[in-house]
Amino acid sequence: MVMEKVVYQRPESLTDTVTHYCPGCTHGVAHRLVAEVLDEMGIREKTIGVAPVGCSVFAYNYFNHDYVEAAHGRAPAMATGIKRVRPQNTVYTYQGDGDLASIGMAEIVHAAIRGENITVIFINNAIYGMTGGQMAPTTLAGMKTTSSPLGRDVELTGYPVKMAEMLSTIDGAGYIVRRSLHNPVNIRKAKKAIRKAFETQERGLGFAMVELLSSCPTNWKITPQEALDFIENSMLPVYPLGDYKVHPELAGLRV
């Protein structure tokens, strides 16, 4: 008799739904990591997610827990409202870089300043995905987008914004790190960081954000494999991976 052992299955925190994400997009990978962490921590039934406006606007169709859908950039404010009246729940936002670093810059910074006990999953793909590939505040210098057709001119449009570095200067922040989703090793590290970001909330240690370097082959106009290479070769030098702020109480935490 052959004994079968399940080594890979859909986490309970994900619904059995085919996503609308493009082939080679790492939004789906990020979803799965969050879902695995919620399962492993056993907090699915008390978790409330806040979806952004962006390609992940329909995240609530893929996650199997309570969800609300915010206005563009306002997810941290919405999460604040939920967490303040229901502190017993786990509350997280899932946001793109246009959402978090452009239109929602004030909301994310002030959520960190207040030390809101929420977890933020920040997808940095250096572009506006949903609206068809316009320049984001995170777009690399010289990178061509539909609204910087000659390549981003940093003299005119500013330099790529480094959210993890910036938010790590804020006292209310408990856990601020940057990870990447471009290969299995980094995906595993990203999952550990997501786990710590939720542990930060469970322990009441303040605002937690994991910035995830993510692919957008569609709007970068390259193949999925080239997109992963682009993260490694072009994004990593501008957005170094690392732990930018870790609350002392998390330092010894093994996940």
Partner 1 sequence: MTKQLLKGNEAFAEAAIRAGVEGFFGYPITPSTEFLEYMSRRMPELGRAFVQAESEVAAINMVYGAACTGKRVMTASSSPGISLMSEGISYIAGTEVPVVIVNVMRGGPGLGNIAPSQGDYFQMTKGGGHGDYFPIVLAPASVQEAIDYITLAFDLAEKYRSIVHIVVDGNIGQMMEPAELPPMRKIPKEAPEWAVTGAKGREPNILTSIYIDPVDEEVVNIRLLKRWLEIEKNEVRYKEYALDDAEIAVIGFGTAGRVASSAVRAAREEGIKVGLFRPISLSPFPKKQIEEISKRVRRILVVEMNSGMMLEDVKRVVQGRVPVEFYGRMGGVTPFPDEILDEIRRVDSNTADVADLEREQWLDRLEARIAGGK
Ligand X SMILES: Cc1ncc(C[n+]2csc(CCOP(=O)(O)OP(=O)(O)O)c2C)c(N)n1
Q: Output DSSP code: residue 46.
A: G
The position carrying tokens 């469970």 is: 202
Q: How far is CA 117 from each of CA 9, 26, 34, 127, rounded to the nearest angstrom?
A: 31, 26, 17, 28
The position carrying tokens 């682009």 is: 230
Residue 217: which of partner 1, ligand X, ligand SF4, none does it interact with, CB under 5 to 8 A by kind? ligand SF4
Q: Which of 74, 82, 161, 176 is nearest to 124 (CA)?
A: 161
85 touches partner 1 (CB under 8 A): yes
Q: Which of 64, 75, 77, 97 binds ligand X (CB under 6 A)?
A: 97
86 touches partner 1 (CB under 8 A): yes
Options 50-58, 75-83, 146-154, 192-200: segment touching ligand X (CB under 6 A): 50-58
Q: Tell me, residue by residue from 30 to 49, as one string, x for binding to ligand X by CB under 6 A and - for no binding.
A: --------------------
166 touches partner 1 (CB under 8 A): no
Contact (Cβ atoms closer than 8 angstroms) between residue 94 and residue 49: yes
Q: Which of 13, 27, 182, 247 binds ligand SF4 (CB under 6 A)?
A: 27
Question: Which one, 127 or 241, has the nearer CB to ligand X?
Answer: 127
Question: Which one, 89 or 102, has the nearer CB to ligand X?
Answer: 102
CA dist 191 and 241 (Å) reads: 14
98 touches ligand X (CB under 6 A): yes
67 touches partner 1 (CB under 8 A): yes
CA dist 227 and 25 (Å) reads: 9
CA dist 126 and 134 (Å) reads: 9
Question: Which one, 93 or 218, has the nearer CB to ligand SF4?
Answer: 218
CA dist 148 and 232 (Å) reads: 22
55 touches ligand SF4 (CB under 6 A): yes
Q: Which of 41, 71, 236, 255 binds partner 1 (CB under 8 A)?
A: 71
Q: Three-state SS for 86?
A: coil
CA dist 222 and 235 (Å) reads: 15
Other Cβ atoms within 10 Å of 115 Cβ, number: 16
Question: Which one, 176 or 216, has the nearer CB to ligand X?
Answer: 216
The position carrying tokens 């739904």 is: 17
Binding footprint of ligand X on the chain (CB under 6 A): 53-56, 72, 96-99, 123, 125, 127-131, 136
Q: Which residues are at the interface with ligand SF4 (CB under 6 A)?
A: 21-22, 25, 27, 55, 125, 129, 216-219
